[in-house]
């Protein structure tokens, strides 16, 4: 059994403009980190552009929203447009967004089909997705890649109970919005609070399926691990997922410019290992990780490297 890495050169074509933190260089930094010999056994595939992708996006977003994004996309050579203050749609963004979703769908397909020899998967994609609400693009996000993958696992593969755990420094308000009233979908998040987008309080519980664990500015590995061990991991185990999806943001790193948590690579490795252990014990090892944030290139690259290495170790 091995780990599958899904990415594509088109993710460089999602043009967010000069000075934007969610920039193509993020992909280049990860590519360089994952070119090391230690990752030689990774199975690598291009994120697919599926003919049926809009059908599956519609599990999480209404067709009216999908059509609106499609209609707004600029033609080649035209300038990017703003979907909100910091979320842009450039001529290359539509295909990138579809392939980002397609990566999650492919990852679910292979981890659900044990005959494929894939234990788990990492989707190195952009634009990121966890801020995209049911019918609203925001926070660099157009479609909610992780939520779509989770709902696809249920609709296509019959997974009855699907969990997303999000350790991005920003609360995954979009995933919470999409999952809010569905008891068979689980969402848990560690995140800095107060911070954009302003959601993620302890009292936000959905129908008993939402578990937020806000952290304070300046918190480091010890409070992060305590939040995971006391609140999120017990809830996840109690939920009993058939598949686990990670919204893997690395902007809680101490060097990240957009927030004030103090995590280091070993904290991300620990969290990955803990989640993989739950997936192994309760979900037959079925685990899909989808890249979210992380804006210091060195911190991002190193953190992704330890994350993927833990996935490889879990699947070996």
Q: Which residues are tagged catalytic?
A: 131
What is the rounded distance in angstroms from the CA atom of residue 248 to the CA atom of residue 201?
20
Cβ of 86: how many Cβ atoms within 10 Å? Answer: 15
Strand 185-192, strand 88-89: pairing: unpaired
List the 118-123 sheet strands across, edge first. 43-46, 2-7, 118-123, 287-291, 243-248, 162-166, 185-192, 210-215
What is the rounded distance in angstroms from the CA atom of residue 310 to the CA atom of residue 114?
19
Contact 238, 231 (CB under 8 A): no
- Ordered DSSP codes for 103-155: HHHHHHHHHH-GGG-EEEEEE--SS--TT-BTTB-BTTBSS-HHHHHHHHHHH
- The phi and psi torsions of 287 (rounded to 5 degrees) equal -145, 130
Contact 216, 194 (CB under 8 A): no
What is the rounded distance in angstroms from the CA atom of residue 161 to the CA atom of residue 242?
5
Report cis status (omega within 30 of 0) of the bond before 79: no
């Amino acid at each position: 059994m091995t780990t599958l890495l899904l990415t594509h050169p088109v993710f460089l074509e999602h043009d967010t403009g000069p000075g934007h933190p969610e920039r193509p260089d993020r992909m280049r930094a990860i590519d360089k980190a994952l070119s090391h010999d230690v990752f030689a056994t990774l199975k690598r595939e291009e994120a697919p552009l599926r003919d049926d992708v809009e059908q599956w996006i519609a599990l999480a977003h209404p067709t009216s929203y999908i059509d609106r994004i499609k209609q707004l996309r600029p033609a080649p050579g035209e300038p990017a447009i703003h979907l909100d203050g910091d979320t842009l749609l450039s001529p290359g963004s539509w295909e990138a967004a579809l392939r980002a979703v397609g990566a999650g769908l492919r990852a679910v397909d292979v981890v659900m089909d044990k005959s494929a020899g894939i234990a788990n998967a990492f989707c190195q994609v952009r634009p990121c997705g966890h801020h995209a609400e049911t019918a609203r693009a925001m926070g660099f996000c157009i479609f909610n890649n992780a939520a779509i993958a989770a709902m696809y696992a249920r609709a296509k593969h019959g997974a009855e109970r699907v969990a997303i755990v999000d350790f991005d420094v920003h609360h995954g308000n979009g995933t919470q919005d999409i999952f809010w009233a569905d008891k068979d979908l689980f969402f848990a998040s560690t995140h800095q609070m107060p911070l954009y987008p302003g959601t993620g309080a302890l009292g936000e519980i959905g129908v008993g399926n939402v578990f937020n664990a806000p952290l304070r500015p300046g918190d480091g590995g010890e409070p992060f691990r305590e939040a995971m061990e006391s609140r999120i991991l017990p809830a996840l185990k109690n939920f009993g997922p058939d598949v686990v999806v990670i919204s893997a943001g690395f902007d809680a790193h101490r060097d990240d410019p957009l927030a004030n948590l103090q995590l280091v690579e070993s904290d991300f490795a620990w969290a990955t290992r803990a989640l993989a252990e739950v997936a192994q014990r309760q979900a037959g090892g079925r685990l899909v990780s989808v890249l979210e944030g992380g804006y210091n290139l060195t911190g991002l690259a190193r953190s992704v490297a330890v994350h993927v290495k833990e996935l490889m170790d879990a699947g070996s």
